[in-house]
Amino acid sequence: MAWRETAFAQSGALYILRPEFQRQVEFRQQDIRTEMPAEAFPLVLCRNLVLTYFAEELQRQVIQRIVEHIVPGGFLVVGKHETLPEGMGGLLPHQPDLGVYRSLEPAEQGSR
């Protein structure tokens, strides 16, 4: 995979994000059940939390708020064994077998 070699350096069995990409990553600690950041993101990684431990109604609420904070055409990545609640809007499967979904562009939203 060319993107893996571009973005990651292999260290034994692990892949480590290269420093030039690390500078663009921001980690935050927030309770996503009650608050969301003000800005939108091109990529949201949400693995092994919302879809594993939250009740279905809370899953729907949190995922919908996350979708609202992804830039159009941006990506949501969940665990590859996790599935989005039935009927979630605003996302298209990009690589669903890997848990990758793409946020709808404005033109796509009108046709859905």
pLDDT tens for 83-110 read 888 888 899 999 989 999 999 988 776 6
**What distance in Å separates the CA atoms of residue 100 and residue 2, rounded to the nearest whole number?**
18
Confidence of residue 69 (pLDDT cuts 50, 70, 90): very high
What is the structure's pLDDT at 49? 80
Please name each of the domains of the chain with its CATH number. Answer: 31-110 (3.40.50.150)
Tell me whether residue 85 is exposed, middle or buried, using C-beta atoms within 10 angstroms of its C-beta: 0 to 12, 13 to 18, 19 or more: middle
For the chain, report the end-to-end CA distance as a whole number of angstroms.
32
Give residue 104's pLDDT: 92
Determine what percent of the chain falls in helix, strand and coil, rounding each to the nearest 5: 30, 25, 40
Residue entry with tokens 């690390």 = 22
- Please tell me the distance from the alpha carbon of residue 35 to that of residue 81, in angstroms, as a whole number: 26
pLDDT at residue 112 tops 80: no
| Mean pLDDT on 63-85 | 92
Is residue 75 a contact partner of residue 103, using CB atoms and an 8 Å limit? Answer: yes
Mean pLDDT of 22-40: 86
Length of the chain: 112
Q: What is the pLDDT of residue 110?
A: 60
Model's pTM, two decimal places?
0.78
Are the C-beta atoms of residues 64 and 90 closer than 8 Å to each other?
A: yes
